[in-house]
Chains A and B, each alone.
Chain A
Amino acid sequence: LAKTTQPISMDSYEGQEVNITCSHNNIATNDYITWYQQFPSQGPRFIIQGYKTKVTNEVASLFIPADRKSSTLSLPRVSLSDTAVYYCLVGDSNAGNMLTFGGGTRLMVKP
């Protein structure tokens, strides 16, 4: 299981774009990169998943360079409700590959 490293916390202001980078130097060929969001007293929620280049959905964008050793979650124009913990995980399609989420990045959006 590839280990991931991401900043412990980040601060931002409403309306700004937020980029959270995750390092995964030992990512395997079959691994996908997945990001989750967790609000207090709730379970993590799937945000976005990608394998290479760029993926965009209605919530975020995910940028993955060619070597895939890192990835960047981009949240456009954040609001106060985006304050949460964001987790980066890598793994393949086998069950339970994402065993431990780690500490994640605590994003605080200020008015």
Chain B
Amino acid sequence: DTAVSQTPKYLVTQMGNDKSIKCEQNLGHDTMYWYKQDSKKFLKIMFSYNNKELIINETVPNRFSPKSPDKAHLNLHINSLELGDSAVYFCASSQLGQGGEKLFFGSGTQLSVL
């Protein structure tokens, strides 16, 4: 079983459309994240949820809205897609506790906005 799974893997769409990316983790973790990886390969955090509550919201346009129906799921909805939204989006989860945080990532969703 895949620990962190996200769908779809590829998403090609037109500017102005609305799309969603789904993420699920079966690791029993309390915390989930969305990261964006740009063309320079920098991975930057967008959102973080802990037990369904938003705890981190970096400077991300309001067009991006995360939704966490339960602690195993964190979906990302994007309204009015723009060309600059093209990137690879990664979902991740972690279980906080002793030691440093350890992140487990999904395989990514490559979003192409035309």
A and B are partners in one complex rather than unrelated chains = yes
Q: Is A13 an interface residue (CB 8 A)?
A: no
Q: Which residue of B lies closest to A46 (CB)?
A: B102
Please determine whether B100 and A100 come into contact, CB atoms closer than 8 angstroms.
no
- Complex Cα distance, B41 from A41, in Å, reads 11
Q: Of residues 57 to 76 in B, which have CB atoms within 8 Å of A's CB atoms?
A: 58
* A99 contacts across to B, CB distance below 8 A: 44-45, 58
- Complex Cα distance, B19 from A7, in Å, reads 37
* B90 contacts across to A, CB distance below 8 A: 43-44
Please determine whether A95 and B96 come into contact, CB atoms closer than 8 angstroms.
yes
Given contacts A95-B48, A95-B55, contact A44 B43 (CB under 8 A): yes
Q: Of residues 68 to 99 in A, which have CB atoms within 8 Å of B's CB atoms?
A: 85, 87, 90-99
Number of B residues whose C-beta is below 8 Å from A? 32
- Complex Cα distance, B42 from A98, in Å, reads 12
Q: Is B112 an interface residue (CB 8 A)?
A: no
Number of A-B contacts defined by CB within 8 Å = 85
Please determine whether B103 and A85 come into contact, CB atoms closer than 8 angstroms.
no
* A104 contacts across to B, CB distance below 8 A: 41
Chain A proximity of B22: nearest CB distance (Å): 15
Chain B proximity of A31: nearest CB distance (Å): 7
Please determine whether B108 and A43 come into contact, CB atoms closer than 8 angstroms.
yes
* A61 contacts across to B, CB distance below 8 A: none
- List chain B positions with a Cβ less than 8 A from chain A: 4, 31, 33, 35, 40-45, 48, 50, 55-56, 58, 90, 92, 94, 96-108, 110
Q: A41-B110, A44-B103, A101-B43 are in contact. List 16 more A-B contacts (CB 8 A).
A: A43-B90, A43-B106, A44-B90, A93-B100, A94-B96, A95-B48, A95-B50, A95-B55, A96-B33, A96-B55, A96-B56, A97-B100, A98-B103, A100-B43, A101-B42, A103-B40
Q: Could you list 17 A-B pairs, sorted by A, with CB under 8 Å?
A: A32-B99, A32-B100, A36-B103, A43-B90, A43-B92, A44-B43, A49-B102, A91-B100, A92-B101, A93-B97, A93-B100, A95-B31, A96-B31, A96-B33, A96-B55, A98-B101, A102-B42
Q: Sort A-B residue pairs by CB-CB distance and give the 6 closest, nearest first.
A: A32-B100, A43-B105, A101-B43, A96-B56, A96-B48, A99-B45
